[in-house]
Structure 1
Amino acid sequence: MTASDMRDQILQVASELIRRNGPAGATARTICKIIGVTAPTLYHYYSDMETLREEVVNRAFEKILEVSNAGWASGHGVDGLKRSWDAFLAFANDEPAMFSILANRTMNGPMPKIAIESLAKFEDTLSGPEFAGRLTQPSKTAAHILWSAAQGAGVLLLAKQSGLALSADIGDDIFNTVMSSLMPATPQAP
């Protein structure tokens, strides 16, 4: 097995353990047992478990950024924002353990690079010509409000998986409410 293959196998096993059991479920002992290697082998590829967990989260979120960026590319203005919003909430819904790690890191710092990139994309979009003169807030403030609302909507989806009764359209409802306050003449997203 090549070094690259071993690194990928460790990452894949850690990813699956985190998905099933949360971050605490991805222990060095469990990963080594599943793969059939010793701890020194694991630590040869990943200096510590935090580095490995960070890599797992970054890989998962890179996938959502790809989907989100495709949303940005296929739509402009409000449509692009909505497509990116939907992709982000799909990630929160489909990958609750990964989203939980990302949300915790975002709240407790330092903010993950990938979260910083997504916020910058919101800032760039809302400072673009489609929004010039149409926002009730400065574009950067509007981007922070919308991005924060997306984080909150993702956390609500986590709570929904724990039994909180929410509208099936809660993500759309939050998006439409925030956008209508930022752009009073915003058409409702479908």
Structure 2
Amino acid sequence: MHVPATAAPHPQGLVPLPANPAWQVLDRSWDVTASDMRDQILQVASELIRRNGPAGATARTICKIIGVTAPTLYHYYSDMETLREEVVNRAFEKILEVSNAGWASGHGVDGLKRSWDAFLAFANDEPAMFSILANRTMNGPMPKIAIESLAKFEDTLSGPEFAGRLTQPSKTAAHILWSAAQGAGVLLLAKQSGLALSADIGDDIFNTVMSSLMPATPQAP
């Protein structure tokens, strides 16, 4: 297979994607807008994962698009798993920025719901990224997002708003809610394959779980 020569730098510092049949895996021309090499690698990996799934973001493909060799990639990211996890973390951070639903926002049931909504927004808006998260959660080691989301649930449910109101110890309740969030996220992935789901499925699962953990829980909007 003919490998295109490295593209000349764009006048504004962009690195254009080579126009070559070898890149038909990508559906359009696009520019790598980051000027820092570490961010360029991250941006290209992110785009490849979104378009082609985790298997599409190989070290070889990333290096060809940017015009570098593998040692450069591994200088910034020790291995491909590290790069994929950074891609997932960055994508999730952007979801939080858009939704204004950082882990620290809100208390009580409202705080839990904000965290729940942000997590499911990630599954819905970034299915390829969420699939990496789900696989890493199952096969280990647990990625940063999974650890932080579980810690958020544990911290919130151990707070004074829930004291004496839960049907389970707070840590157990957090594990139940967190497991439900993982399952709801995977269910949203199935929607990408044509599974018909209620538009309110995320809210319905949250309310059902919280009603079991805290029977007097008001229904979340």
TM-score by structure 1 length?
Answer: 0.91
Going from structure 1 to structure 2, the CA distance change for 1:64 and 1:2 (only over 3 Å counts) comes to: closer
Runs of 4+ in structure 1 over 6 Å off: 1-4
Deviation at 1:181, TM superposition (A): 0.3
After superposing the two structures, state which structure 1 stretch, 26-35 or 122-131, moved more. Answer: 26-35
**Hey, what's the Cα distance between the residues in 1 that align with 2:33 and 2:191?**
42
Could you tell me whether the CA contact under 8 Å between 1:89 and 1:153 is conserved in 2? yes
After superposing the two structures, state which structure 1 stretch, 46-55 or 153-162, moved more. Answer: 46-55
Gapped regions of structure 2 (runs ≥ 5) = 1-31
Going from structure 1 to structure 2, the CA distance change for 1:72 and 1:47 (only over 3 Å counts) comes to: closer
Deviation at 1:45, TM superposition (A): 2.1
Going from structure 1 to structure 2, the CA distance change for 1:70 and 1:168 (only over 3 Å counts) comes to: closer
Deviation at 1:112, TM superposition (A): 1.2
- CA deviation vs aligned residue, 1:125-173 (integer Å, no higher than 9, x gap): 0010000011000000000000110110000000011111111110000
Larger radius of gyration: 2
Deviation at 1:92, TM superposition (A): 0.5
Going from structure 1 to structure 2, the CA distance change for 1:62 and 1:10 (only over 3 Å counts) comes to: same
- CA deviation vs aligned residue, 1:47-66 (integer Å, no higher than 9, x gap): 32222212212222334456
Deviation at 1:72, TM superposition (A): 5.0
Deviation at 1:40, TM superposition (A): 2.5
Does 2:136 match 1:105?
A: yes
The alignment covers a number of residue pairs equal to: 190
Could you tell me whether the CA contact under 8 Å between 2:96 and 2:102 is conserved in 1? no
Going from structure 1 to structure 2, the CA distance change for 1:77 and 1:8 (only over 3 Å counts) comes to: same
Going from structure 1 to structure 2, the CA distance change for 1:42 and 1:73 (only over 3 Å counts) comes to: closer
After superposing the two structures, state which structure 1 stretch, 22-31 or 70-79, moved more. Answer: 70-79
Could you tell me whether the CA contact under 8 Å between 1:32 and 1:39 is conserved in 2? yes
Deviation at 1:2, TM superposition (A): 14
After superposing the two structures, state which structure 1 stretch, 64-73 or 101-110, moved more. Answer: 64-73
Going from structure 1 to structure 2, the CA distance change for 1:105 and 1:177 (only over 3 Å counts) comes to: same
Deviation at 1:38, TM superposition (A): 2.0
**Hey, what's the Cα distance between the residues in 1 that align with 2:184 and 2:149?**
15
After superposing the two structures, state which structure 1 stretch, 162-171 or 44-53, moved more. Answer: 44-53
Q: Answer 1 or 2: higher relative contact order, Cα 8 Å, separation at least 6.
A: 1
Deviation at 1:67, TM superposition (A): 6.5
Going from structure 1 to structure 2, the CA distance change for 1:18 and 1:78 (only over 3 Å counts) comes to: same
Could you tell me whether the CA contact under 8 Å between 1:71 and 1:80 is conserved in 2? no
**Hey, what's the Cα distance between the residues in 1 that align with 2:75 and 2:62?**
14
TM-score by structure 2 length?
Answer: 0.79
- CA deviation vs aligned residue, 1:76-126 (integer Å, no higher than 9, x gap): 210111111111101110000110000111111111133112111100100
RMSD (Å), alpha carbons: 2.4
Could you tell me whether the CA contact under 8 Å between 1:93 and 1:157 is conserved in 2? yes
Could you tell me whether the CA contact under 8 Å between 1:32 and 1:42 is conserved in 2? yes
The structure with the greater share of residues assigned to helix is 1
Q: Which of 194, 197, 204 is residue 173 of structure 1 equivalent to?
A: 204
Deviation at 1:18, TM superposition (A): 0.8
Going from structure 1 to structure 2, the CA distance change for 1:113 and 1:69 (only over 3 Å counts) comes to: farther
